[in-house]
A and B are shown apart, each in its own frame.
Chain A
């Protein structure tokens, strides 16, 4: 997760995207550690977003195409309070399985943010302003972590991101366990080859 540039196509959603929209509760039964069942989290990622709001502004844009488990979109652009609701870690996991490289939102609900960082699933980036209306689903996006900028390549406009702050050490290590090993809090050996 320590690369400096992230590029890809945007999938745009609005404010208050809750975890029931990211992965509806009925799907929380698949084994997260079985390679085959894990794909189902990708298949149903973002499937709880109401039809008329899917990919905004007119809706109806599927995040995952029928029969697929990975999305043609790489970066989710949202607004305020992304990931609110339940503590299900299946939410950032579903986005990771779907192939999402980063989420950009103005603010996050704290458990989703924490799960994304500690589990090393997706990079949760914060935009200084609420920018989702300046992006359309399918736009080419370029994120530069060195200069904290997100550029909508399709329109040529750039927006400022907040620095990662406290979370940077854990994100750069690759998650909570990797970080704890790095600072010597848990042994290097545990689980190293599992």
Chain B
């Protein structure tokens, strides 16, 4: 019996010829990423367990990307970044993207690929649940807690239960009103928020491989919202082109064996799918945008690791170009590269930045922003009873700030159409 991509990567990183789902193995880690919210706790555990003067296992394999609570006056939040700075200096970590410097990046899951840290066939852990985003590059990537991360800092290893793989195949041509966000919401709506618990979710099919890298990242990003351990997409030419343009490090792409065993397989025809929305307060509470056309919103939010990449803003600008937003619309680029892209990317001779400004949107600085609420002064945070349509990943009670708010999740196209109309709107209304 052959192995899936996920099984092969875990076998290769645990010194075995073969692993089977359910088995526990110790894997060697290629990259450990941490940020300002979970980094300080991780570092404290590392120091407590290995000693104040202990050295980390490999300073080239640790990446520190502050991104969560950046543009806030909250003293505790600012202290966390100082804490990271001290540790990075003590351990001589070069892979640090400090706040207030030209190195600052923003959202870690988008910054990691931009900086060449996501490579096919590797093992990446991060102290953030959306670390699974990097599965888009054909690597094993998953989120962990502070204790596990501290253990890796000292040893370079972590135990992993080998997940079974569930396979989701999208055939057919992607209509131009459909985005990766619609595909993943369809899956979560079908299998539920625990439908892939402990499993690897592989995305395959012509429609998936027709997506650009950023769209593939959106698919893998939300596997955690179905309980998945990791997302995975077989690396192809598009993947290699993207990765090789950003790193000189050698890597070893891995494909499914022809007789690999999948625990589950479901096929979809992308050509027949329609724009979707997850209603409050769960990502599995999925309906079509069309069915929700009587839902009035107070705010539209376009941002985060899920929906704040350049592809997401290009999509939103297609609809907002030459139109006005009828409700408060917040634009939060995931990274400084994306922010630069807003200025450099043009439609009809106008930059995306200009299009959003002319539409009356409010444009913020690169960071996680209000996706997870954050400190009270966070840009775009929901502080009352707002109804918000957002391109982010979670609509749990209180996720974006206030327990009394209501969050609807959708694609950037649906978000832009909703911004223009003031009620939830299927983007086909504006796309011929």
The judgment on whether A and B are partners is: yes
Q: Which residues does A use to contact B, with CB under 8 Å?
A: 16, 18, 20-21, 24-26, 28-33, 48-51, 80-81, 84-90, 107, 109-111, 114-115, 118-119, 166, 175-177, 180, 185-186, 190-191, 194
Interface size class of B (residues with CB under 8 A): 35 or more
- By the criterion CB–CB under 8 Å, are B143 and A177 in contact? no
List B residues 54-89 near A (Cβ within 8 Å).
54, 69, 74, 76-77, 79-80
19 contacts across the A-B interface (CB closer than 8 A): A18-B399, A20-B372, A20-B398, A21-B396, A25-B399, A26-B401, A29-B37, A80-B194, A85-B394, A86-B143, A107-B197, A109-B197, A115-B144, A118-B151, A175-B147, A180-B151, A190-B49, A191-B50, A194-B51
Residues of A within 8 A of B159 (CB): 176
Known: A107-B194, A176-B151. A81 touches B227 (CB 8 A): yes
A81 touches which one: B48, B50, B77, B194 (CB < 8 A)?
B194
Residues of A within 8 A of B231 (CB): none
Residues of A within 8 A of B210 (CB): none
- By the criterion CB–CB under 8 Å, are B50 and A190 in contact? yes
- By the criterion CB–CB under 8 Å, are B161 and A166 in contact? yes
B92 part of interface (Cβ distance < 8 Å): no
The 9 closest A-B pairs by CB, nearest first: A29-B76, A89-B145, A115-B145, A87-B143, A119-B147, A81-B194, A191-B49, A87-B129, A33-B44
Residues of A within 8 A of B151 (CB): 118, 176-177, 180
B147 touches which one: A18, A20, A49, A118 (CB < 8 A)?
A118
Known: A48-B397, A81-B193, A190-B49. A110 touches B229 (CB 8 A): yes
- By the criterion CB–CB under 8 Å, are A87 and B127 in contact? yes
- By the criterion CB–CB under 8 Å, are A111 and B396 in contact? no
- By the criterion CB–CB under 8 Å, are A28 and B148 in contact? no
Query: Shortest distance in angstroms between A168's beta carbon and chain B's nearest beta carbon?
Result: 12
Residues of B within 8 A of A25 (CB): 37, 372-374, 399
B40 part of interface (Cβ distance < 8 Å): yes
- By the criterion CB–CB under 8 Å, are A20 and B194 in contact? no
CA distance A29 to B69 in the complex (A): 9
Known: A31-B40, A33-B48. A20 touches B397 (CB 8 A): yes
Query: Shortest distance in angstroms between B73's beta carbon and chain A's nearest beta carbon?
Result: 12
Query: Shortest distance in angstroms between B364's beta carbon and chain A's nearest beta carbon?
Result: 17
- By the criterion CB–CB under 8 Å, are A28 and B48 in contact? no
Residues of B within 8 A of A30 (CB): 76
Query: Shortest distance in angstroms between A15's beta carbon and chain B's nearest beta carbon?
Result: 9
- By the criterion CB–CB under 8 Å, are A24 and B398 in contact? yes
Residues of A within 8 A of B74 (CB): 29
Q: Could you say which of A33, A84, A194 has the most chain B C-beta atoms within 10 Å of its C-beta?
A: A84
- By the criterion CB–CB under 8 Å, are A118 and B51 in contact? no
Residues of B within 8 A of A177 (CB): 49, 147, 151
Query: Shortest distance in angstroms between B65's beta carbon and chain A's nearest beta carbon?
Result: 15
Residues of A within 8 A of B41 (CB): 32-33, 89-90
- By the criterion CB–CB under 8 Å, are A89 and B227 in contact? no
Residues of B within 8 A of A185 (CB): 155
Considering only CB atoms, which chain A residue lies closest to B228 in the complex? A110
